[in-house]
């Protein structure tokens, strides 16, 4: 199984910090509380799909993308994001924050507005069976910063061989693990922000951690 050893050493940060962005303010939106706290798959499939074509397809790319490499015990994952917020007040928001061992670091998208349509890809070094998504939503530097910046409500997963699934993340600082039913065989997976929980003060959307668990397909 794809190693998630980095999650075991995630620390709880106690210090406050400058928010990701201070120049774009949005009004908070009140949604259905029942939908905000339960991570789930919105369109689960009833049975595994046979993959007839195992040819590696090119992953999505963007002219403004930034990338980083995660080397684990079972292989190498290449993370890329369509945009990254520029550093501010000593804070950086790069894609490598998604797999660091600190919860006071987060990836923050770099486009104006709330980042709907921005994406992250995880590109594997071999064909893998993706079994679950593990995430820490929002910017978890503190509860105050978490609330002020936008969090991901809905992620659309696009896999290299054409499958898609949609996940709803909880509006929570808890670690979220969502099993894919069924698992999906792929060379890469793209996570597209389709909807957000608006921040109380700032428009930026953040994800503190993002991993997948996956086995090599033999």
CATH of the domain at 130: 2.60.120.260
Q: Is residue 17 part of a domain?
A: no
Q: Which tens digits make up the pLDDT trace of 141-163?
A: 999 999 999 999 999 999 999 99
Per-residue model confidence (pLDDT) at position 26: 32
pLDDT for res 73: 77
Q: Which residues of the chain have pLDDT under 50?
A: 1-19, 21-34, 46
pLDDT at 35: 58
- 194 domain residue, yes or no: yes
Domain of residue 116 covers: 5-11+59-216
Residues 213, 4 contacting (CB under 8 angstroms): yes
pLDDT the model gives residue 39: 82
Give me the half-sphere count of Cα atoms (radius 13 Å) on the Cβ side of residue 167: 23
Q: What pLDDT was estimated at residue 28?
A: 32
pLDDT of the residue at 49: 55
Residue 158 placed within a domain:
yes
Q: Is residue 66 part of a domain?
A: yes
Q: How much is the pLDDT for 36?
A: 73
pLDDT of residue 48: 53
Answer whether 0.85 is exceeded by the pTM.
Answer: no
The per-residue pLDDT for 216 is: 93
Q: Which helix (H) or strand (E) holds 41?
A: strand 40-41
Total tally of structural domains belonging to the chain: 1
Tell whether 74 is covered by a domain: yes
pLDDT score of 41:
79
Within a domain: 48? no
């Amino acid at each position: 199984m794809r190693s998630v050893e980095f999650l075991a050493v995630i620390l709880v940060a106690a210090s406050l910090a400058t928010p990701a962005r201070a120049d774009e303010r949005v009004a908070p939106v009140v949604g259905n509380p029942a939908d905000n706290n339960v991570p789930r798959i919105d369109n689960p499939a009833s049975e595994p799909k046979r993959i007839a074509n195992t040819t590696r397809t090119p992953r999505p790319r963007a002219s403004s993308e930034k990338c980083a490499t995660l080397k684990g015990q079972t292989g190498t994952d290449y993370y890329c994001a369509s945009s990254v917020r520029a550093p501010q007040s000593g804070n950086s928001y790069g894609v490598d924050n998604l797999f660091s061992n600190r919860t006071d670091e987060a990836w923050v998208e770099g486009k104006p507005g709330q980042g709907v349509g921005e994406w992250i890809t995880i590109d594997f070094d071999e064909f893998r069976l993706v079994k679950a998504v593990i995430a820490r939503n929002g910017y978890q530097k503190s509860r105050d910063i978490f609330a002020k910046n936008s969090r991901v409500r809905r992620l659309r997963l696009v896999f290299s061989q054409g499958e898609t699934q949609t996940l709803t993340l909880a509006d929570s600082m808890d670690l979220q693990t969502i099993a894919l039913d069924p698992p999906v065989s792929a060379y890469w997976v793209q996570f597209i922000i389709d909807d957000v929980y608006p921040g109380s003060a700032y428009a930026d959307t953040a994800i503190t951690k993002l991993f997948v668990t996956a086995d090599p397909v033999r």
